[in-house]
A and B are shown apart, each in its own frame.
Chain A
Amino acid sequence: MSVAWTVAAVAAGVFALRLAGLLVPRRAVPPAAEQALRFLPIALLTALVVANLRAQPDGLAAWPAAVGGGLVAWRTRRMWACIVSGLAIYWLLRLV
Chain B
Amino acid sequence: MAERGQTVAPPPPATADAADAEPRGGPLRLFGRGFLAMLPLWVGAIPTGIAYAVAARGVGIGPGETQVMSLVVFSGAAQLSAVSLLAAGAPLPVLAGSAMALNAQFLLLGLAVSQQLRLRWVERIVTAWFLTDAAYGVTAGRRPLRLPVLLGAGVSMYLGWNLGTALGVVAGQALPDPRRLGVDLVIPLTFLAVLAPVLRTRAALRAALVAAVATPLLSGLVPPGVAVLGAGALGSAAGAWWSRRAGERR
Contacts and interface: CB of A to CB of B under 8 A. Distances in A.
| Chains A and B belong together in one complex | yes
Given A11-B73, A26-B115, A51-B219, 8 more contacts: A26-B118, A35-B243, A45-B137, A46-B235, A47-B235, A48-B137, A69-B189, A74-B199
Contacts of B99: 10, 13-14
A96 interface: no
Contacts of A47: 105, 211-212, 214-215, 227-228, 231-232, 235
Contacts of B191: 45, 48-49, 52
Interface of B: 37, 40, 61-62, 65, 68-69, 72-75, 78-79, 82, 86, 91-92, 95-97, 99-100, 103-115, 118-119, 124-125, 127-129, 131, 133, 136-138, 140-141, 179, 181-182, 184-199, 203-204, 207-208, 210-212, 214-216, 219, 224, 227-228, 231-240, 243-244
Interface in A40-77: 40-58, 61-62, 65-66, 69-71, 73-74, 77
Contacts of B224: 51, 55
Given A42-B239, A50-B216, A56 B185 contact: yes
B114 A23 contact: yes
B100 to A, nearest CB: 5
B249 to A, nearest CB: 16
Contacts of A82: 189-190, 192-193, 196
B78 A66 contact: no
B192 A36 contact: no
B158 to A, nearest CB: 13
Given A37-B115, A42-B236, A44-B108, A14 B73 contact: yes
Q: Which of A6, A21, A48 has the most CB atoms of chain B within a 10 A radius of its CB?
A: A48
Contacts of A4: 65
A15 B152 CA distance: 19
A54 B196 contact: no
Interface of A: 1, 3-26, 29, 32, 34-58, 61-62, 65-66, 69-71, 73-74, 77-83, 86-87, 90-91, 94
B182 A48 contact: no
Contacts of A42: 195, 198-199, 204, 207-208, 211, 235-236, 239
A94 B192 contact: no
Given A49-B191, A51-B215, A54-B215, A17 B232 contact: no
Contacts of A70: 192, 195-196
- Interface of A (DSSP majority class): helix
Nearest to B192: A70
A54 B80 CA distance: 17
A45 B91 contact: no
Q: Which of A9, A21, A39, A81 has the most CB atoms of chain B within a 10 A radius of its CB?
A: A39
Contacts of B91: 1
A37 B236 CA distance: 6
Given A10-B73, A36-B240, A87-B189, A17 B112 contact: no
Nearest to A45: B195
A21 B110 contact: yes
